Structure 1
Amino acid sequence: MSKVIITCAITGSAHVPTMSRYLPITPDEIVEHAIEAAEAGAAILHLHARDPQDGRPTPDPKVFSQFVPRIAQATNAVINITTGGSMGMSLEERLAYALQIKPELCSLNMGSMNFSLHPLAKKITDFRFSWEKPYLEAFEDKVFKNTFKDIKHIMLKLGEECGTRFEFECYDISHLYNLAFFLNEGLIKPPFFIQSIYGVLGGMGPDPENLSLMRTTADRLFGRENYRFSVLGAGRHQMPLAAMSAVMGGNVRVGLEDSVFLGKGELAVSNADQVRKVRRILSELSLEVATPDEARTMLALKGRDAVNL
């Protein structure tokens, strides 16, 4: 079994600040969390931006530029920029910063979906900012849009023209077949980094059987030698599914984007808390953690020197 790549998703765009006072919002907070996560063992840092004033998601390259270069200067971790942004952002907005810096790695959602957190709007009674409740409620009647045309555009503009490779986010088994379609079209080539995602409303449930099905389907479609499998378990499913992925020869993703908790009823104070916890799990399984440069080799990335920072 090869070494395990730990990805840490620092802040995301789905969770609202009221869910955790530890969720990083400002550039300084994102920098601090990212550096600590890298020092704890994260080889890849998955990054979104938020308005420093109230924490709402933003695609503004000016905000990204306040923290991404600082993270890159302080760590050797692979910088992974979202192309998903958040609900309601146009494709042009979602790609703006990635096209500016041409990163080694970008996330790429492999289909349109009913991604939703709207039930949380009823569970939270006292919101920190006025935008949060309407934002969560709006998920009920919105679709995250990534059509075949959108995906092709991203693959051409970022992949072919910029040399960026992708964290292919697969929320459903159909997303693996979408990925296979683009392989057959000649738009992408292995090794693929498949981030399989469980426990988000609108996507696959967190059942272990789903993880097994995704793994065996990916094996059949691509051949195990042609891809790196990784697992993101949302919320309380984060660590159990990470452990299952590791046992099955896969990689893991943690971070406050995916869960604000460290354990039952216990908020994670930092992203590094989750990285350290999953690293302990891997150690108990006698598995080694990949360094950033080892992850670059495993994923055939172009290297930090080719990034426009």
Structure 2
Amino acid sequence: MPLAMNREVFITCAVTGVGDTAHKSRNVPRSPKEIAAAAVEAAKAGAAVAHIHVRDPETGAPSRRNDLYKEVTDRVRQADIDIVLNITAGMGGDLVFGSVEQPFPLAPASDVVGASERFSHIIECAPEICTLDCGTMNFDVGDYIMTNTPSTLRALAKMMTDFGVRPEIEVFDTGQLWFAKQLVKEGLIEDPVLVQLCMGCPWGSPNDLDHFLVMAKSVPSNWTFSAFTIGRDAMAYPAAAVLAGGNVRVGLEDNIYVGKGQFATNGQLVERAVNVVENMGARVIGPEEVRRKLNLIKR
């Protein structure tokens, strides 16, 4: 299948994430007020979508607290600029074994809860999009495994569809994309289907162009996809994503630098992405066009 450049591109900004970046850069937002302000900053720079995690305001550690999500979404909705809200539903599947020789009991850092609890903040906040991490995967963090069993994914996909929130299917390798197609085939995810290709996260799909093109070419032509990679190549990926027919994700969740030794803000990363997209001859579209494209429900 030949690649077809995308001429109408939307940009997602992942404003904070859950990684240990808040202790590396003071620009990574922690509190609900800071996270909401980062989403507004991204919108003013040209992002149509804000991807939201929350953190403990005191420690910067990742959190699942519903009240923190609610405060962020309320603040963003009360702001003087529009942006599509995309809230993670990927928390609550964190399995950390004790050690190589004694895997049980699980380490205290484990956080594994049922599907309904993983979805409870989505019901309370009612965003337009929420993420569905479409598989189980080893991450490059000791004995940590991101767990998403087929039964859990089927349950979450049905909850999202029934509630009227658009799943953003996050896939980290080709097997997860294969299962995403199965969820669509079973009617658990409805059109229009939205996919995020997550490249370069150890130990998922590497971020080299060969692997990326395999992923991009495997996305059905009637689906909408975005792509990103983490780390030093993050700001090169907008060009690759657009050229492959996709959309763009940047943000401090994926990369904390705007240049060598220069800590970025979310707004700076979005501005760089806008420049890349426009210099390629494509147009950056806004939140209302994204809502029409993806048939989103604005609460």
TM-score normalized by the length of structure 1: 0.85
Alignment of 1:243 with 2:245, yes or no, is no
Distance 1:101 1:27, change over 3 A: closer
For residues 236-286 of structure 1, the C-alpha deviation after alignment (integer angstroms, 9 at most, x for no partner) is 121112211112221000010111111232210x21110001101111111
Alignment match, 1:157 = 159
Q: Retained in 1: the 8 A contact 2:20–2:61?
A: no
Alignment of 1:80 with 2:86, yes or no, is yes
Code of the residue aligned with 1:65 in structure 2: it is: K
Q: Percent identity at matched positions?
A: 34
For residues 145-176 of structure 1, the C-alpha deviation after alignment (integer angstroms, 9 at most, x for no partner) is 1111111111111222x101111111001111
Q: Retained in 2: the 8 A contact 1:107–1:169?
A: yes
Alignment match, 1:279 = 274
Structure ranking higher in helix proportion: 1
Gaps of 5+ in 1: 119-139
Alignment of 1:23 with 2:47, yes or no, is no
Distance 1:10 1:193, change over 3 A: same
Distance in 2 (CA, whole Å) between partners of 1:188 and 1:204 is 23
Structure 1 residue matching 2:138: 3-state secondary structure: coil
Report which stretch shifted further, 186-195 or 44-53: 186-195
Q: Report 1:113-262 matches (<5 A).
A: 113-116=137-140, 118=141, 140-160=142-162, 162-218=163-219, 222=220, 224=221, 226-262=222-258
Distance in 2 (CA, whole Å) between partners of 1:182 and 1:144 is 19
Deviation at 1:63, TM superposition (A): 1.3
Deviation at 1:93, TM superposition (A): 4.2
Structure 1 residue matching 2:226: 3-state secondary structure: strand
Alignment of 1:35 with 2:35, yes or no, is no
Superposed structure 1 runs of 4+ greater than 4 Å apart: none
Pairing partner for 1:47 from 38, 52, 55: 52
Alignment match, 1:128 = none
Structure 1 residue matching 2:78: 3-state secondary structure: helix
Q: Retained in 2: the 8 A contact 1:45–1:79?
A: yes
Structure ranking higher in strand proportion: 2
For residues 47-99 of structure 1, the C-alpha deviation after alignment (integer angstroms, 9 at most, x for no partner) is 01111111111111111122211112213211011011263332444322112
Alignment match, 2:8 = 3
Q: Retained in 2: the 8 A contact 1:51–1:57?
A: yes
Pairing partner for 1:61 from 49, 58, 66: 66
Structure 2 residue matching 1:298: 3-state secondary structure: helix
**CA root-mean-square deviation:** 1.4
Q: Retained in 2: the 8 A contact 1:48–1:85?
A: no
Deviation at 1:27, TM superposition (A): 1.6
Distance 1:262 1:93, change over 3 A: farther
Alignment match, 1:301 = 296
Distance in 2 (CA, whole Å) between partners of 1:204 and 1:44 is 24
Code of the residue aligned with 1:286 in structure 2: it is: G
Structure 2 residue matching 1:17: 3-state secondary structure: coil
Instruction: Tell me the matched-pair count.
Output: 275
Distance in 2 (CA, whole Å) between partners of 1:274 and 1:5 is 14
Distance in 1 (CA, whole Å) between partners of 2:123 and 2:42 is 25
Distance in 2 (CA, whole Å) between partners of 1:72 and 1:11 is 18
TM-score normalized by the length of structure 2: 0.88
